[in-house]
Structure 1
């Protein structure tokens, strides 16, 4: 073979003059079954191996002595660049691996005479074929057929096998001789495919583009080379493997140089790491070499910031689609690349109005729930893989129309959400045409995950009966709602999932415990209404209705919430309070100036918080209050009273102080204290329990349920609410009458008797936080403050005044009952906390008093101010650690 210039080089076959070697084995033609295979002649294979090891890959020089009429050339071949090199024919004869054709010898030819002398010497030395016995032991037992190729491949245990490449059919298919057992097998390279040679009807072969170049690339590196082959699989009698040469892996080299493309069906068996093959193909695509010369990337027109970004998941639309919020505030729908959600094949449910895909398609609900619990409301990493163009359907087409889709890989905490879905059997992987490059960048991992799910019988691949979700939708069903209302009222706080947000204050909830859907209206507020169709035409949306709906969506859509149902309207919609992670949604809307307080809130325990939040947003003139004008002053005295801070102290009994400096109290002046109604209720309840003790272990705790718990400190029963269930041995409960928490086994819990529920007597413990002071973030500093508060006010009667609302509870000032000294101000004066400066005008007098107390603590260098040479802005934002 010559030197390559712009393509595969020309080849010539040279037959060595004046010598003869044994013929190698030859298989009988498949078309002539009556003929038998021809075996090796003695020393034929050894002669071939002698030359192969000497010459393959080396430069040689040759001379042509005779050319026959058929074009066959005879001559001499020398190792090296000129005729001074080793004569190959002489080396064969000298080793006894060839005989001299003496019938054509001329006496005056010194080269021929030398061959005869070398043959005589080999005979005398009994070399090669001249050894005693004739060399019958040198004939190979060549095996052309493997009876059970699949078992044969499995028996290799994917360990490298020594081999010699005997023939290269194309760039990715070779014929190999496996050593030492002489199996002659065809091996297709795992995970790739090169352009091939198509056989035409007339018997000729026409190469695909770059087929000849790919064949030469493999041939020039592997033909008759010593290699190792990993036999990886044998589907459909085709052996798949990887050829390893000391200089590299031919599979990866073919991809990197643009001579091959990845093949999905055989990629899974590639043992050297499928990611290496994808990386090689990606490199060739980016450089647009050879078969990729016209390649256009699926995201070629996108900037890097559009291809990779971090976003917050706002909604799980389907098992393969989510709505995310970008840093710019824009919302974008992202489809998970290369997966297909559960679906019902061949059924048209559009005509059945009762058909609800989320509940009626097997595993659709499980897939959505998995996604919702995993990523809703969380930041995820999005890598766009491709943009699927919009499609349109015609009247004759059976393909539905789709809008343009952004398909991406979504990860959270290093977990590929699509891969997790597929591994649980909640989705399947889309199979593509070989030339379809629009697929996930982690397509191989998806295929492997699906294979595991199929093997383990997960989800869609399970042979068990599919799960059935019988969910009753009682939205707008007045009669059903009336029957259901007393149950929800008695339940207190119930768990729910927000399925849909119609407006800022109107939602659709899924009640998992009751397996039903309800329409829920937020109590106590009046939210701006959106546009809607009315009998007289389209009603225009009120200002900030869209903002209110967006706020509610971002806060609660598809989140787990708790609801307190108070009543229902005439249309069968339930009315009540919705809480998410301690935040009352009605209060949050009012505080963010997206809703007003409704007069029906007056009879609610949340009324003061709502009014306080409305007042603050009105003073800011924010959103719905932007054009609000204060009423004209008619009575100066009345106006002055409104601007002044209201000091309406009432007696409370402090029952618990938390590690975050919040505290719980019982109201004394209304008669709700430990020594009156609560004490009577506790005595009666315990007497009833003593008479009819609960069966141990019969209660199954569920988050949000009200129950009775046996307190570990005194062994008495108290009313409680389940906050979390880690396991039957670890149930987190909150004692609703005292504010303390405990982790107890479920065996110490029981169903609360109806006569002692929160309907009979409301929960007695109310949560508050200190106004005007900052909670130390440093654990040691905060612990010191909590210890001081426990010593001074826990289990004592104090005087409480609500100063302003907070996110989770009202902020108050507390006075000692005897001295009337302010508890929070005392902490400031002792240098244990810093002042939280409020901006409201009517609170400035109190803020000034607290700041004066802080200055006195600084001057005296007490506690956190004990170091000299400090400034206010030296306070570390993570705690009260000051620079020395």
Structure 2
């Protein structure tokens, strides 16, 4: 802090007998304080007042950065107790002061009184009386004030107070640590329990300095002071006001700090104060915005932070003065509904059947399924099968299939992603309905992310088109990363070698003896070609086979033939739809397989949990 910041005579409140007054936001040492004047259309001016005629021990100073030979300076004896005496007595209190003289460098020296006039407690005298400061050498007691200081000093010496007590005062020197060798270990050792501390600095970026047993903590993002190379500091709008807002409420106050996590050697935490949560207050007043990358570790209700931010957005406060809320384009009945899951598409989308009988594709909001990273080492001539070739895609699909197929789920539409055109690197996408899907009170996307089977999409800070449970998704991903689940595991990725013999008669003949010896085989219906033609995945045998239902023939659907399109027979679509609803992606049991003229086939397929299917064909035959 400078000696005088934006000071004008009109900025200082009217005080009795013409003495300037103000609030004390900070104590620099045992003989120097900051006095803040009245605000005039912005953060108020500040003045550094040094107590004249007395001297207190200096506080420790860290070595200047960029100077290899510089060393940290420790506390002088009784310097810190003197500073603490002033901090506890003056922070947030009204004082008045007189200026006796001013140095050519602009440093002001004078007397400070607690209250609005000079009849209040003389702070310099109180320090000397407690043995926390001494009279400056060479000062003659030729006026009442100096005589009073000399008298109080003699009394402190006689009572052996403070610096006049026996010993060297070494016990008052702090053993300060400016860095932490292992920040993550330090945070983990606190177990997210509140620890006592003091807010010692509000940075010009997005950090707060805290004095703990040994810690500096990084908290939340406020508007910043940006500095380009070789350019002056240019604050973002409301940066100075946000800094003042925090300083005026917390600077040098005793607080409790909860250390939440560690990110890039910076400690993330929360400040607790009896008068409220400064994080929520900054958001509610429009001085700050939620930060996705750190809100995931916030343990005291991220929903409260989002609600506070939403409050400021709706009222267009400060940094949100130009905010435009997204327009809702859905009726309530289309935004929330119950539907039956008919199919799982890879690992981030499902097909549901609405009450009207229509089918609708729903994409899980704000998550991304497993992807093939980097250059694939597989044979370039072999067609990529995402379900089996992309690591963890099969596990993710199976998780959703076992949880959802045939079940009724609650769907809450979060946003509609508009259609996009193709670019050189990104394919075209049709319009997508993105929603939160839950069953039995469980958010399916969150469960998927917590198992490491999907990742959370990162958005621009001003993008509101995201999941209504976005913070829970981030928290689930943080847990998955910490526990090394799925995609975040350091183990070798699972490999699925699945032989597709569904279109190869020769391979089908080779596999038939193995399948026949197996007797009853478990399978999953992967695809329905028509009412009587299916593709099955057999997990034990790790192969894909084609089945024809024996003893029946369903109408043929439309087919694309060379040079022409063959129209489908009557009721072909109805037959295909009927079979899809009954068996698609369900677990079934195949009995006594036999070989047909073209395809591998069987004589009975029992999905025991589908009574309706058995009532149509008893037993259901495959051909």
TM-score (norm 1): 0.57
Aligned positions of 1:762-781 closer than 5 A: none
Match of 2:66?
31
Tell me how far apart the structure 2 counterparts of residues 482 and 87 of structure 1 sit (CA, whole Å): 103
Tell me if 1:186 matches 2:216: yes
Residues in 1 aligned to 2:518 and 2:209: alpha-carbon distance in whole angstroms:
76
3-state SS, counterpart of residue 46 of structure 2: coil
Aligned to 2:20: none
Shift of 1:42: 3.5
Cα distance, 1:162 vs structure 2: 2.5
Equivalence for 1:59: 94
Q: 1:359–1:471: 8 Å Cα contact kept in structure 2?
A: no
Contact 2:296 2:478 in 1 (8 A): no
Structure 2 vs 1, CA of residues 253 and 315 (structure 1 numbering), >3 Å: closer, same or farther?
same
How far off its partner does 1:515 sit?
A: 4.5
Deviates more, 1:510-519 or 1:306-315: 510-519
Unaligned segments of structure 1, at least 5 residues = 590-603, 608-884
2:528 is aligned with 1:498: no
Larger Cα Rg: Structure 1 or Structure 2?
1
Residue of structure 1 aligned with 2:402, choices 360, 373, 398 = 373
1:535-593 Cα deviation digits (max 9, x unpaired): 6743445555444433332232222345678988755475866654454649759xxxx
- CA, structure 1 residues 97+267, in 2 after alignment: closer, same or farther (shift >3 Å)? same
Q: Is the 8 A contact 2:605 2:619 kept in 1?
A: no
Cα distance in structure 2, aligned partners of 1:198 and 1:569: 75
- Give, in angstroms, the shift of residue 320 of structure 1: 1.4
Q: In the alignment, what sits opposite 2:352?
A: 324
Is the CA contact (8 Å cut-off) linking 1:298 and 1:385 kept in structure 2? Answer: no
Aligned to 2:129: 94
How many angstroms apart in 1 are the aligned matches of 2:378 and 2:320? 44
Cα distance change of structure 1 residues 303 and 104 upon mapping to structure 2, 3 Å threshold: farther
Residue in structure 1 matched with residue 425 of structure 2 by the alignment: 398
CA drift of 1:222 comes to 1.6
1:353-377 residue CA offsets vs partner (Å, 9 max, x unmatched): 6543323334333322222121011
Residue 327 of structure 1 and its aligned partner are, at CA, apart by 2.8
Deviation for aligned residue 1:169: 1.1
Q: Determine which of 454, 464, 472 is the counterpart of 1:427.
A: 454
Deviation at 1:56, TM superposition (A): 0.5
1:163 aligns with 2:203: no
d(CA) in 1 for partners of 2:157, 2:176: 29
Matches within 5 A, 1:170-569: 170=204, 172-179=206-213, 183=214, 185-189=215-219, 192-202=220-230, 204-267=232-295, 269-272=297-300, 274=302, 276-285=304-313, 287-295=315-323, 300-345=328-373, 346-347=375-376, 352=381, 354-394=383-423, 397-432=424-459, 438-447=465-474, 449-450=476-477, 453=480, 458-460=485-487, 461=489, 463-464=491-492, 466-475=494-503, 477-478=504-505, 495-512=522-539, 515-522=542-549, 527=554, 529-534=556-561, 537-541=564-568, 544-562=571-589
| Offset at residue 149 of structure 1 (A) | 4.7
- Could you tell me how far 1:151 is from its partner in structure 2? 4.7
Change (3 A) 1:515 1:151: closer
Q: Which residue of 1 aligns with 2:23?
A: none
Matches within 5 A, 1:39-58: 39-58=74-93
Q: Which one has more relative contact order, counting CA pairs under 8 Å at least 6 apart? A: 2
Kept in 2: contact 1:79–1:87 (CA 8 A): yes
1:637-652 → structure 2 map (5 Å cutoff): none
Question: Cα gap change, 1:583/1:43 in structure 2, threshold over 3 Å: closer, same or farther?
Answer: closer
Contact map agreement 2:287 2:319 (CA 8 A) in 1: yes
Distance 1:605 1:223 in 2: 79
Per-residue CA deviation, residues 304-333 of structure 1 (Å, 9 max, x unaligned), is 444433221111111111111223333222
Contact 2:257 2:270 in 1 (8 A): yes
Listed one character per residue, the Cα deviations across residues 91-117 of structure 1 (whole Å, up to 9, x for unaligned) are: 33333333445867795x655554455
Deviations 1:811-837 (A, max 9, x none): xxxxxxxxxxxxxxxxxxxxxxxxxxx
Cα distance in 1 for partners of 2:252, 2:99 equals: 24
Question: Which whole-Å deviations, capped at 9, do the CAs of 1:819-869 have from their partners, x for residues lacking one?
Answer: xxxxxxxxxxxxxxxxxxxxxxxxxxxxxxxxxxxxxxxxxxxxxxxxxxx
Per-residue CA deviations over 1:392-421 (Å, capped at 9, x if unaligned) read 233xx2233322333333221122323333
Q: Aligned-residue CA RMSD in angstroms?
A: 4.1
Contact 1:309 1:382 in 2 (8 A): yes
Tell me if the contact between 1:22 and 1:43 (Cα under 8 Å) persists in the aligned partners: yes
Kindly state the Cα deviation for residue 339 of structure 1 after the two structures are TM-superposed. Answer: 3.2
Secondary structure in structure 1 of the residue aligned to 2:218: strand
Which position in structure 2 is the counterpart of 1:79? 114
Deviates more, 1:281-290 or 1:167-176: 281-290
User: Aligned pair in 2 of structure 1 residues 86, 566: CA closer, same or farther (>3 Å)?
Assistant: closer
Q: Kindly indicate whether the alpha-carbon contact (under 8 Å) linking 1:578 and 1:584 is maintained by their aligned counterparts in 2.
A: no
Pair 1:541–1:456, CA change in 2 (3 A):
same
Q: By how many angstroms is 1:486 displaced?
A: 9.3
CA distance in 1, matches of 2:137, 2:507: 112
**Cα offset for 1:194?**
2.1
TM-score scaled to structure 2, two decimals?
Answer: 0.78
Give the number of equivalent residue pairs.
583
Unaligned runs of 5+ in 2: 1-35
Q: 1:59 & 1:322 partners in 2: Cα distance?
A: 64
CA separation of 1:307 and 1:79: change in aligned 2, threshold 3 A: farther
The offset of 1:457, in angstroms, is 5.5
Q: Does 1:9 align with 2:36?
A: no
| SS of residue in 2 equivalent to 1:193 | coil
Go from structure 1 to structure 2 and tell me whether the alpha carbon gap of 1:366 and 1:158 turns closer, same or farther (over 3 Å shift): closer
**3-state SS of 1:23 partner:** coil
Contact kept in structure 2, 1:319 and 1:367, CA below 8 Å: yes
Q: Is the 8 A contact 1:520 1:576 kept in 2?
A: no
Rounded Cα–Cα distance in structure 1 between residues aligned with 2:71 and 2:490: 52
CA gap of 1:437–1:154, structure 2 versus 1, over 3 A, is same
**Separation in structure 2 between the aligned mates of residue 437 and residue 514 of structure 1, nearest angstrom:** 47
In structure 1, C-alpha distance between the alignment counterparts of 2:163 and 2:67, rounded to whole Å: 33
Measured in 1, the distance between the counterparts of 2:383 and 2:295 equals 44
